[in-house]
Amino acid sequence: MLVCFSRRSLSETIFPSFSRALVTCQHSLSSSDSIKNVELSESELFLTQLKYPDDSVSITPYFLNRVISSCAKSASIFLGEQAHSTIIKLGFDSNVFIGTALVDLYSKCERIFSATQQFDEMPERNVVTWNSLISGYSHAQLSIQAFNLFVDMLKLGFTPTPFTISSVLASCAQLEAVELGIQVHGLSVKYGFSCNVVVGTALVDMYSKCSNSDDSRKCFDAIPEKNVISWTTMVSGYAHNGKSVEAMILVGEMRRLGVRLNKITYNILLSSFSSLKDLINGKQVHCLVIREGFDSDNYIVVTLLTMYSECGRLDDFCKISWTVSTSDQISWNSVIAGYSHLGYGQEALDCFRRMRQAGITIDFYTLTNVLKAIGLLSALKEGNQIHALVLKTGYTSNLYVQNGLVSMYARCAEVDDSKQVFSSIIEPDLVSWNSLLSGCAQHGHGEEAVELFEKMRSIRIKPDHSTYLSVLTACSHVGLLDRGLHFFSLMRDESKELPRVEHYACVVDLLGRAGHLNQAESFINSMPLKPGPSVFKALLSACRVHGNVDIATRSAKRLLELCPDDPATYVLLSSIFAEGGYWDDAAGMRKLMSERGVRKKPGYSWIDSNKNSPISMEMR
């Protein structure tokens, strides 16, 4: 009889007394396999008892525990709170199992304060109670609280379980605190969890997020029975640390061992391809995605768009974008972000207009990429409109949007507006500083850029390669030779950021503008890296300014070896010869250019003639 009635409407509307009987029957069948055939859940039975109270029906702690667990799985906080009220009314609030279930409920429903309060009020706790709150803190990104609670648990003599260790390792990964993670790793070995697949996977994740791929791989190899989650976590670790080749090799090993890749694995693998050198691997994985039938999955498609845009492949990006369903926010955002990353600002703005007209809700990610597109176009009018939209939509305190505004105004040469937005940021991050510093460097505020750099260092914000590039550019533009050389020495000798070719090019430009051409040439010859075209172009430009034909000839010869089809080199060297009175050499350079079939591309400029195409600003 019980098996036949599976609809709640029958039990509640037609036979309320039968539903009450089901509660009693539930107790007797709870330990039997027969209960699996009853489709009425514990939460539905509990609701029936609330609607049709019957004093003859007793609700046991075991049944209430099942109700709370059911609410936790379905995140039904409203019903869970009703059950909590019943628990208090019936005097079961001191039951350790019910109390633990309540902690788990509030944690999974993101009611961390209620979970903590319930935990603190419990007269008795077991290890599952501690695990529930530690896991809740970890999922709520309250990593320090999770770790401190773990320490308290150990002090009180509770023995951790594999679940405890995995939750604490997740908190260490969030904090990127590898020292704490190593200590927890030691505890896992002490308690004999080193071969546990859950703990092993958590160790792989922790070391990966702490940028320690070698130890992450050692932990992965030590897992005796890996599952698809373990493999995917290791792939994610390689992707997180920019090791796309290693991620690709690992996926190949998965396939050889017969481990079936899921959509998450493919998604993570595709996200590891972020430059032109990764394009071949990216296309191979794209073929696998099509063969597995995942090419229609929205998340996979979005990741493919991101991959092709970061690899600089406009044609492939456009082919994928035409297949994207533009009915949701994520799809629109990915297309706008792709066009912005590829440098097609106008196309990104056009997509944004269509997104607004379609009534799709925007978020901070939309605004950030639209601001980037506006910066590419130096479209101040549209930038002001988007700033107004930011104010209307309430994203003024979002750090990503604030950084986008700082960068947009800086690119539009509105340095004062950029500084005003920067000053409104409560806790500027490295991107905030770099955006303002770059704007000052590019628009003649060299002294201010140097002051910003010094202030960054004084408040212990570590500069990266972009920071050093901006401050070196600033010193070059305003002629601060000694300061520029000092900053380059700081980068080379004290910073973890090793100078790149573009930094050496800045120093050459700095020396060249100051007239130290021989020193600049010696600097190039002593470079530990192979000089790139930008290095010789900087020296060649300085030679033209100071009329040094000899160094210009040597530099041009090396530049032509690197870029034989670059017309700028021929034209620049020809101009240097002509300005120095070497007319035959100038004519010879023009003739060589013609013989090699190198043609100078005509320059052009543009203005925005479409003054009647404002961005839609209606609120959605």
Q: Is the pLDDT of residue 51 over 80?
A: no
Mean pLDDT of 438-445: 90
Render pLDDT for 509-556 as a digit per residue (tens, 0 to 9): 999 999 999 999 999 999 998 998 889 889 988 888 888 888 888 888
Q: Is the pLDDT of residue 297 over 90?
A: no
Which has the higher per-residue pLDDT, 45 or 551? 551
Torsion 233-237-240-246 (CA) sign: negative
pLDDT for 35: 35
Segment among 261-275, 401-415, 561-575 with least mean pLDDT: 561-575
Question: ∠ CA(285), CA(290), CA(292), 5° rounding?
Answer: 90
pLDDT-derived band at 90, boundaries 50, 70, 90: confident
Report CA-CA distances (Å) from 481 to 148, 306, 439, 581: 51, 41, 20, 31
Render pLDDT for 346-400 as a digit per residue (tens, 0 to 9): 999 999 999 999 899 999 999 999 999 999 999 999 999 999 999 999 999 999 9
Euclidean distance between CA atoms 41 and 11, whole angstroms:
12
Q: Is the pLDDT of residue 409 over 50?
A: yes
Mean pLDDT of 468-480: 92
pLDDT-derived band at 11, boundaries 50, 70, 90: very low
pLDDT for 9: 37
pLDDT for 151: 94
Euclidean distance between CA atoms 87 and 198, whole angstroms:
34
pLDDT for 468: 94
Q: For residue 547, which phi and psi values (nearest 5 degrees)?
A: 65, 35
Q: For residue 224, which phi and psi values (nearest 5 degrees)?
A: -70, -40
Residue 158: both structure tokens together: 């509770």
Q: Which of 118, 124, 86 is nearest to 102 (CA)?
A: 118
Q: How many CB atoms lie within 10 A of CB 357?
A: 10
Q: How many CB atoms lie within 10 A of CB 287?
A: 11
Euclidean distance between CA atoms 484 and 612, whole angstroms:
46
Q: Which segments of 422-532 are extended strands (E)?
A: none
pLDDT for 20: 41
Euclidean distance between CA atoms 391 and 103, whole angstroms:
39
Euclidean distance between CA atoms 519 and 512, whole angstroms:
9
Q: Which amino acid is at 99?
A: G
Segment among 12-26, 46-60, 124-138, 240-254 with least mean pLDDT: 12-26
Q: Percent of the chain having pLDDT more than 70?
A: 87
Euclidean distance between CA atoms 513 and 464, whole angstroms:
25
Render pLDDT for 128-170 as a digit per residue (tens, 0 to 9): 999 999 999 999 999 999 999 999 999 999 999 999 999 999 9
pLDDT for 21: 36
> What region, left, alpha or beta, does residue 604 occupy, with left being phi > 0 and alpha being psi -120 to 50 degrees?
beta
Q: Is the pLDDT of residue 591 over 90?
A: no
Q: Where are the domains of the chain?
A: 325-423
Q: For residue 448, which phi and psi values (nearest 5 degrees)?
A: -65, -35
Euclidean distance between CA atoms 201 and 237, whole angstroms:
11
pLDDT-derived band at 604, boundaries 50, 70, 90: low
Asked if 223 and 252 touch (Cβ cutoff 8 Å), the reply is no
Render pLDDT for 67-80 as a digit per residue (tens, 0 to 9): 888 888 888 888 88
Mean pLDDT of 495-507: 88
Q: Which of 268, 104, 210 is nearest to 202 (CA)?
A: 210
pLDDT for 10: 32
Q: What is the mean pLDDT of the chain?
A: 84
pLDDT for 70: 84
Report CA-CA distances (Å) from 207 to 136, 191, 526: 22, 20, 38
Q: Burial, 349: exposed, middle or buried (Cβ in 10 Å; 0-12, 13-18, 19+)? A: buried
Q: Is the pLDDT of residue 324 over 90?
A: no
Q: Which of 365, 364, 426, 360 is nearest to 393 (CA)?
A: 364
pLDDT for 545: 86
Euclidean distance between CA atoms 588 and 574, whole angstroms:
8
What pTM was computed for the model? Answer: 0.75
CA atoms within 13 A of residue 240's CA, in its CB half-sphere: 19
Q: Is the pLDDT of residue 299 over 70?
A: yes
Mean pLDDT of 118-135: 93
Q: Is the pLDDT of residue 189 over 80?
A: yes
Q: Burial, 403: exposed, middle or buried (Cβ in 10 Å; 0-12, 13-18, 19+)? A: buried
pLDDT for 556: 81
Question: ∠ CA(187), CA(190), CA(194), 5° rounding?
Answer: 85
pLDDT for 15: 33
pLDDT-derived band at 608, boundaries 50, 70, 90: low
Which has the higher per-residue pLDDT, 407 or 557? 407
pLDDT-derived band at 607, boundaries 50, 70, 90: low
Mean pLDDT of 496-506: 88
pLDDT for 44: 60
**End-to-end CA, the chain:** 53
